[in-house]
Structure formats: C-alpha cells, structure tokens
Structure 1
Amino acid sequence: MDKTSRPAIFDGHNDVLLKLHRAGGLRASESFLSGRDGAIDLPSAKTGGFAGGFFAVYVPSPTDLEFKFDEMTKDRYDLPLPDPIDWEDAFPVVMAQAAILFDLEARGALVVCKSASDIRTALKNGKMAAIFHIEGAEAIDPDFHTLDVLYQAGLRSIGPVWSRTTIFGHGVPFRYPSTGDIGPGLTDHGLRLVRKCDALNIMLDLSHLNEAGFWDVARHSTKPLVATHSNAHAICPHSRNLTDKQLAAICESDGMVGLNFAVAFLREDGKMLADVPLEQMLRHLDHLIEHVGEDRVGFGSDYDGAVVPEALTSCAGLPDLRHAMAKHGYDDALMTKLCHGNWLRVLEKTWGH
C-alpha cells in the first residue's frame, strides 16, 4: 500500500450486498474478488486503501430509480415514502444477502467482525473487515426471534428504518429543502427495539430516522448516538441531514457521524448531480468536526447505493480524498482518526469490546 493509500479507510455504510444480490446472488460473489462494475471490490479496495466497513443488508422497494433520480435534479422535490414491506417479504431477501456476506468470508474476501478487536486484527493482517448491518428492520419480528438469531450469526448494527415506515418507527422522505422533523417517531415496538439492542450491544444507526425518532433514541438508549451515513443540514438543508442540535446530542453522547458521499446530501442545492468538488466534502467534514469534535467523525460513503462525486466513483479513488484532506490541513493524527480510528473508538464503546 503506497503513501496515498494510508491511513486505511474503514467506512460506515455500503450497499454492495444488494448489488451482488441483484447481479445473481452467490454466483456474483466471484466478481467481488476479481473485479466488478461497481464501487467496491478487492482490486479497487487494494488500490484505494479501503479496509472495509458496515456491509448493509437492505430490502429494496419497487422504486423507479430513473424517476427518482430525475426528480432529485430539480430545485425542489418531495418523493413519496415507499409502501411498508411485510416481514414475510423482507425475511428471505435479508437471508439471501446475509448468505452472500458469509460466502465472501468463506472465499477469503473479507472477515465478518463482531468486535473492535476483530477489526483491528483484520486491519493488521490486511484483510477486509466487514460489519453485518441491517438497514431497515422489516425482517425483525415484534418478538425479536429473528434479531436473536441474526445476532448469533454476527449482526452487530441495525437501522430501525430506511425511508419508509416499519413497525418500529418512521423514516424521512427524500425531500429538499426540508428538515427531518417529519411525522411521529418510534412506536412502542421501536422503544422495545432500542432496549433490546442496548442489552445485546447492537449498534443503532440513526441515519434514516426522522427527528422525532432520533430524539426518542436519544432519550431511551444508553449507548452513543451514531449516524453511519449523514451530513450537515446547515450546509445542505436536506431532510436526510443532521441539524446542529442533533449534532450537539451526538457529541454529548460521545457518538459518531459518518460523512455520506451521496451528492444530494453534499450539495447546497440538494441535487443528485455528480459534479461535486472534493472541497464540498471538506466543508461538511469541517462543520461536523466543529460541532461533534475530531474524535466523532468518519466516513459513511453509501458506496454502491448512491450517486457520489465523480472523483470517487470507486473506492480506488480514495487516495484523491486523502490528498485533498492533507492539502486542506488535516495532520496525520486527525487523518487517522477520520479514516478509521474514530469508528474503532465508538464501536468499542458501543459493543463493549
């Protein structure tokens, strides 16, 4: 690994499992090792110094992506929330994507990590470290039988919602300009989920929760508040981004924010257009560091799940981001914190080891 690929980047969110699922499931796993048409694979990771991160298992809605992306290039937009997905429909999709993750581990492509020490060992040995994460809890039943089994399989992080309603709470639509103060927060099942995850030391991801849900978690969880892939609302007033008041709560809890590379959450105009200079990402990083502190900021790229800046369409381009950060004035110690150290810190505090 050359100098521009250091320090290694451990990332808060990617959707590569969904892409592999759509490309053929287990039959597509080989492309992750040899090279694929996407943002993350082993050759690109080696080039870019991408050390792993949260591998999301996500059940997609039947959304017209072309319509969605077209709407998000307008000056204002408000996409309707997708319909809820029943447990019976979500569960087999979650199982199929989790099987891909464990197949990649069996092939030696990555290591599924259940502790911060597992991640440190993987980083030391040059192995890609993966956290089994679920984005949207549609596959979790109200009795938590599914959650208990998935925990035993390695699940260590969960987002109660994506941008649609679940039995646990309410997400935010893709709306610009807007705050996340949209609708009610967690349901009674959602409050039970918070307590259950706290008891199991499963990290709760707040990135898609609306503001009411965010504050419900803040009141009821004993763990650090973590948004794995969210940006600064003060710079881009999108419903998905975090207000300074939310950032203050994350700071107070000694939590974490992962900078989302999705251009609609980076650009001041909220548009899904890829011509975003790296300097715009640094503006968000500076704001996040100012409001939550340099020990509580990292990356949450949303790779393989979003339109990202042209310079970073693959994780092989991450040396350009490091170069921009160093040129901006971030010293070696801060670079290490932002690239992976802060994720290790908050995961150790959340998981207990």
Structure 2
Amino acid sequence: DIRMYLKSEIDNLVEKIVQLQRSILKFAKSSGQVIIPGYTHLQIAQPVLMSHHLLSYIEGLERDKTRLQDAQKRIDAMPLGACAFSGTGLAIDRELVRKELGFVSLTANSIDSVSDRDFILEVLAGLTILSVHLSRIAEDLILWSTKEFNFIDIDFSFCTGSSIMPHKKNPDILELIRGSVGRIHGDLSSVMILMKGLPSSYNRDLQLDKPPLFDAVDTVKDILEIFMALFGNIIIEKESIASKVKDESLFSVDIVEYLIKQGVSYRKAHDIVGKMVIDCLDKGKKISGLSSTELKKYSDKLTPDIRGILNAQASVNLKSSYGSTNPKLVAKQIAKWSKQL
C-alpha cells in the first residue's frame, strides 16, 4: 500500500536530512571564526560568520524535516475495508487489520478512502520545498567555488574538467543537483493536474500518481546522500576570504548604527553615510583614511574613533540581536544544534 510505503520512506528521508544537517554542522564548526562578505541581491552587503551562513541551511532543513513528519501523521490512517468505494456487508474487522499493519487510525469515509490523494500531494509538496532548499545550497556552493568568489575549493571527485579547456574545474555534480530539482517540481505539478479534474470516488487516472511520487522520493534521497559526502570534501580558502572582507563598504551599516547611538536619526544617518561612501569611491579614498576635519564635513558626530569599527571582526562583534551573526550567539546556536542533532 502506498501509505505503508510513505510511512517507511518518510522515516528514511528524515534520517537522511538529519545526517545532512550533521554534515553541515561539522563543516560549520571547522570554519571556526572565518568571516565572509555576505550578499543581498548578489551584491556585497555586510560581514557574517561563515558558520552563521551554514547554520541557515540547517534551519531550513529542520523545517523540511518537521513538514514531512507532520504529513506522516495524516498518512497513518488505514483505508483497507473501504472496498470499491461503498464498504462491504461481509464480516470484516478493520480494527484488527489496522493493528496488524501498524496504522494509528482508520479512515472514516469509504468514498474518501478510495479517492484521497492529499497525502501524496502533501509529501510531494514537502519534497518540492526541500528540493528548493537543496538547490539554493547547491547554487551557493557553485558561486563560492568560482574564481570570482573563491571562498571554497570542492574536491575534484565532485567536479569534472573540460573537454577543451585544461584549466577548468566544473562543479558538475552541484549543477546536476540544481537541474534535477526541476524534475521534482514537475512531479508535484503532474499529480496536482492529475487530481484537479477528477470526480469524487475512484478513477483509473489515480494509478498514475505513483511514478512521479517514486521519482521525487528517490531523487531527493540521492541528492541528500551526495550533499552528505560533499560537505566533508570542501576546503575553505581562508586567505582569499580575508582579502575580500577588507572592503570598507561592508561596514557602512555599522557607521549608520554608530551615528544612531550618537542621537542621529536613522534617515539622516543613512544619508550621511551614503554621501561619505560615494565621495570615497569617487575620490579613491578609504573611510579609514579620512581625517577628523574631513569626517566633520559629513557630521559633527563622526570622529576618528570610527576606524575601530571598520573591520570584519568588529562588525560581527557589534551585532547583539538574537539570531544575529555575533560570534557568541553563533556559538550558542552551534551548541544547540550539536545537542539536538
């Protein structure tokens, strides 16, 4: 029965998700206090701990895991005994069969019992959301491994060369993961479209729900297993990363918050720092190189002591809100996940 299959497969999927979370957590621990430039809109934004970024993957996977576990509760109802669709007059004992097969409950309506595929749609939806997270992780790692980013080096066992360009090291496995996710989305769509026009009760169309379900389950399991191994075969390019967090535009928000703490409104502080950054870019200067007189042109609240916050370590240390990239708070999150997983 498809319900028994899914009960078992969700247990397998949850275990593989946990194993991937552990693999990512181990990699996060190995990154130590490495600080990377964070990005929004794929534009350089603010410094964050690499471990903080990696923990965001674990958070998403945790939701994926609980989503599947929640779906499993609704799968755990036995439809046997509904017969064709109206039940039977024979002396069957559905409760006995339920106990023997290990179901938690019985389905309560025979027509719904033979026509319900909500549980398949729910699992496919959960797998689709999970696959989105996996695809985005793959994309991050692809970007991080490029010469332009150069945050990480992925072991060649997960890459290929080029048939014509000897210098190439292509992250083909990650690209194939990213591409395979489209198939999982198609699996959900195919069953959604299959169901939308059916009248109530059983129709032979329902036989076609299984190939896309099996495909999605098997594909996600394969991707999870690949990621488990891959995260154990990544080298962090610490020197390259260190050179990239010297860009002082990364600390513009820290200067804004410095001014706010001096009593300047957010809007005015934003305008002040924006003008200062533009002027420095136009004149080829660094903010840290501005004299006291030059700083006063922008605001009398700015003094040379802002140079003390114009570095990546100071930037992450200044964060204090729960869930932020402050090293002490990230360490607590790592400890929490180490215990939980």
For the superposition of Structure 1 and Structure 2, which TM-score range results when normalised by the shorter chain? under 0.3
The structure with the greater share of residues assigned to strand is 1
Question: Which TM-score applies when normalising by structure 1?
Answer: 0.22
Question: Which TM-score applies when normalising by structure 2?
Answer: 0.22
Structure showing greater Rg: 2
